[in-house]
Amino acid sequence: MLKQKMSEKFDKEQEQVVESLMEKKEKKMEADAAFTAWKQHKSHLMKMEKKKRAWVMQKKREEEEKQIARDREALIVYRMWLESKNPVKHDTFSPVKAKPPWTPPGKCEEFYFSLECIIKQICFKNVYHKIIYRVVPKG
């Protein structure tokens, strides 16, 4: 009987050891599964964030390209307007005749009008002085 009790006690202890090992294995498997799921979720979030950043950068690049193209077109139109203007016919400065069809990006119309007046005055003075110096001998 004593041997039987000892063997039952030993069997119970062995069962408890096996159960605790099984519980540890189950807990470890659950923890590994949870960690794997978290890792996959995190990598998915990182991929989505990377895609979002790439999309935002692409949109910024497209906006910059649109603005550059718009500025180029505006500059071409402005240069065509300047070329089509004949400064010989318009000796007097007239804001109505000299007004550009629109203002180039980032520029002020008044600045261009005043700059144009200054350029005309300088050019007129240079031409006037050249004429005087050619007609009147120095001395």
Q: Do residues 92 and 86 touch, judged by C-beta distance below 8 A?
A: no
Q: Around 111, how many Cα atoms within 13 Å sit in the side-chain half-sphere?
A: 6
Percent of the chain past pLDDT 70, that is, above it, reads 61
Q: Which residues of 24-52 are buried (b: 16+ CB within 10 A; e: fewer)?
A: eeeeeeeeeeeeeeeeeeeeeeeeeeeee
Which helix (H) or strand (E) element contains residue 51? helix 2-84
Residue boundaries of the structural domains of the chain: 1-133
The number of angstroms, rounded, from the C-alpha of 101 to the middle of its chain's C-alpha atoms is: 30
Calculate the average pLDDT of the chain.
Answer: 76
Mean pLDDT within 106-114: 51
60-108 pLDDT tens trace: 999 999 999 999 999 998 888 888 886 555 445 555 555 555 555 555 5
User: What is the CB neighbour count within 10 angstroms for residue 74?
Assistant: 16
Structure tokens at 89: 């016919």
State if pTM tops 0.75: no
